[in-house]
Structure 1
Amino acid sequence: MTTRGKFITLEGGEGAGKSTLLAGLRAHLLARGVELVQTREPGGTPLGEAIRAIVLDPALHGMSGESELLLMFASRAQLVRECIEPALAEGKWVLCDRFADASYAYQGGGRGMPVERIAMLERWATDGLAPDLTLLLDLPVATGRARAAGRGEADRIEVEADAFFERVRAAYRARAAAEPARFRVIDASRSPAQVLQAAIDATGHLFGAVA
């Protein structure tokens, strides 16, 4: 009987360093012999990548919060069924750049969409799937935005005002406080090496279930 894989998600605001941590954590897990699938949201499937292009297109500045929320969950529903669930069922671990917590932070905290509506969509779109571990990279909004400023042209979400990202950060922190068993909050203002070590330490308990 195949042991079900583990599902790890990375969350955080703009410029938190998720891409850098993903690369380091991926290398660590592979070195430990984990069969790994890495994916992202929105995206991760052909349909999801097409939705990602729409959601992040700065020309579509008139998109409503409701439309953005539904698009995010459409991408998520496809990712769960096409990528995440099949991989977990095969015993593979899945490392995902954002998942449902991002909708509570960005569309909930940032856009003001009702939490109850997001929760309803989450139950439907994910079929009850939740991460085994969520790593939240937390740092001041001003620090993150300064880092992100050097990455090229801003997308439709990155152009939002600081107040938007303060609400995003507050929503993330509130979710982490409400689910301390699942979340590990990492101070992302530290060096990349320190952030990676904190993430590696946070994953240690997952290996006990597959040893």
Structure 2
Amino acid sequence: MTSLPRMGRRAAVVGVLGVLAATMGTGVATARPAGTTSTIKIIAGVPQTIKESSGIAFQCPANYVMIGRAHSGDENGGTTYYCARILIDGYQVTVNAEPWSDAQKESNSSFTAPEDEVIIGRLHSGDENGNTQYRTAYLTYQGRELSLQNQHTVGPYRESSSSSTAGAGELLVGRSHSGDENGNTYYQYATLVG
């Protein structure tokens, strides 16, 4: 199956929705009256801990996104991932996975998800000289792509005893690290807009 570029996907979704609306004789989604807002709930799942230096690719379950990460010890220590699902007005947001990122050396790594995308997976192998990759996703609700705003960085955290989770309404969109397990790690979060 051929992968459409991001703008091509948007146009395809809009085109399909237009055809559906025309054939059904009704609108696909009901617009909210001006001045009202959607209720967004981010519901944390069960944290999962792995030994990531063994090269295990971690990915949040289907329709879950990453909201945090913790690591203890050196490269053989445990890494815990925190994932959550998102509901808008009681309905599940769809998480549309993108391909894995290019690999980069962990000891000098910096990754930020593309605009309006969130992190859903991470793959690391070995120590600080090993490679790290990320998997991102864009989010859709009732056929439209959602956006993120107010991106900010938190840290530094010493990697060997680090733990960071998103604030209210936020999702994980980036991470950077320098050095070995005693080096600094920073996380980037952004707020989901309904």
TM-score by length of 2: 0.30
More helix by share: 1
Q: Which has the larger radius of gyration?
A: 2
TM-score by length of 1: 0.29
Higher relative contact order (CA 8 A, sep 6+): 1
